[in-house]
A and B are shown apart, each in its own frame.
Chain A
Amino acid sequence: MKDETTQSIMDLDRMVHEPARLAILTVLSAAEEVEFLFLLKVTGLSKGNLSVQAQKLEAIGYIKTLKAFRGRVPVTAFQITAEGKTALSKYHDHIRSLLPEPK
């Protein structure tokens, strides 16, 4: 039993499990598209960290980066992909199954 639980914990999607990436995916799952600045303010991550984590999520296909211009200023926005939504949903189910029943 113990081995099964340990294995189950080990099977958690590490890409989603990391707190910064989990926060990014959670925010993106609540909207169609979110700009870098809003993500920065809501997650409280540093610019560098947010960029790195977003790149990792994009590399695995969980999010999509959109580049546009507001006037002459370049604006970066992110969108969660169908794979990202599925991964987040699976992660939630997985975590719930690991947590003890509330007394």
Chain B
Amino acid sequence: MEHLKHIEDLTRRYANIRMGAAGLGSLWASILAISFIVLLGNYVFTEFAASADADTSLWHFLRSDGLATPVWIKAAAISVSILTWFGITCLQTFIDKHLGAAIPRDPTGKLMRFFVPVFFICFLLICVGYNVGQSLAFHDNVTHEYYGKSLFEIMDISAYLGWATMTVWAVIWAFTTRDTISRGLATLLTLMFFPIMSSTLNEIDLIVIALSLIGLLMYSALGLYQFFAFQKIRGEINALQVSE
């Protein structure tokens, strides 16, 4: 009876700990996201040092003029999400090949499967709607440089393409996985990099990144906890086989 209780408890713990490649997924996502932030920070500070007055603060520099977002930054932001997914998939496959998978009983999992895609599609529509609204406002302003240009010319196509790619990717990721931690990471990384897709880098981007970074650090802490718990469970499974 004790043995049965033990294997039942072991299965329950393994099913929960196994998610997100036993914590390694969160750590991998954090490494990639922090590398990207370092890259972005380097670009912003270099541009700031080159163009701003000595009196202007970085905050004011970004707030007043904004900084053009180069396409390579947008591409790197999208790559972080894709590389995170790829890394988690590879690590999870490696773990499952050695120990096998156990899916936890998670009543919210099925709900999240639909909630996450709906959330992203709504979020995308709001961002696009807001951006188009802003463009139209500029378009109506006769003193503005956009005056006389068509809406298509005003719109930053790469921003819309970036948003669409990130949304489609997040929806696919959220819908195909049964792993709550992976879904959480997909959501966080998408929200983190969504503002970067717009044509200029503003102070709001820094706020969003800073807030997302807090979330990412929490995932990293959870990842470390999961990884050590996974090692313990692996030891217990090995001990079971030795005793049998």
Is this pair of chains taken from one and the same complex? yes
Residues of A within 8 A of B (CB): 22-23, 26-27, 29-44, 70-71, 75, 77
Max chain A Cβ within 10 angstroms of own Cβ: one of B7, B10, B93: B7
Interface size (B, Cβ < 8 Å)?
25
B217 surroundings in chain A (CB, below 8 A): none
17 contacts between A and B (CB under 8 A): A26-B4, A26-B8, A30-B8, A30-B11, A30-B12, A31-B12, A31-B15, A31-B104, A31-B105, A32-B105, A33-B102, A38-B11, A38-B101, A41-B99, A42-B7, A42-B11, A44-B240
The main secondary structure of chain B at its interface with chain A is helix
Flag if A35 contacts B12 (CB, 8 Å): no
Residues of B within 8 A of A (CB): 4, 7-12, 14-15, 93, 96-97, 99-106, 237, 240-241, 243-244
Flag if A32 contacts B240 (CB, 8 Å): no
A22-B4 contact given A30-B9, A33-B102, A42-B11, CB 8 Å threshold: yes
A29 surroundings in chain B (CB, below 8 A): 8
Q: How far is the CA of A41 from the CA of B14 in the complex (A)?
A: 12
Which of these, B11, B99, B243, contacts A27 with CB under 8 Å? B11
B8 surroundings in chain A (CB, below 8 A): 26-27, 29-30
Which of these, A26, A35, A40, A42, contacts B101 with CB under 8 Å? A35
Give A96 Cβ to nearest chain B Cβ, in Å: 10
Q: A34-B101, A44-B244 are in contact. List 13 more A-B contacts (CB 8 A).
A: A22-B4, A26-B7, A27-B7, A30-B8, A34-B11, A34-B102, A34-B103, A37-B99, A39-B100, A42-B240, A43-B7, A44-B243, A77-B101
Flag if A42 contacts B10 (CB, 8 Å): yes
Q: How far is the CA of A9 from the CA of B99 in the complex (A)?
A: 37
A31 surroundings in chain B (CB, below 8 A): 11-12, 15, 102-105
Q: How far is the CA of A92 from the CA of B11 in the complex (A)?
A: 19
B4 surroundings in chain A (CB, below 8 A): 22-23, 26
Flag if B105 contacts A41 (CB, 8 Å): no
Q: How far is the CA of A26 from the CA of B10 in the complex (A)?
A: 11
* Ranked 7 nearest A-B pairs via Cβ: A37-B100, A38-B100, A44-B244, A35-B100, A30-B11, A33-B103, A30-B12
Which of these, A22, A23, A41, contacts B100 with CB under 8 Å? A41
Flag if B100 contacts A40 (CB, 8 Å): yes
A36-B241 contact given A23-B4, A29-B8, CB 8 Å threshold: no
Closest to B9 in A: A30
A27 surroundings in chain B (CB, below 8 A): 7-8, 11
Q: How far is the CA of A31 from the CA of B9 in the complex (A)?
A: 10
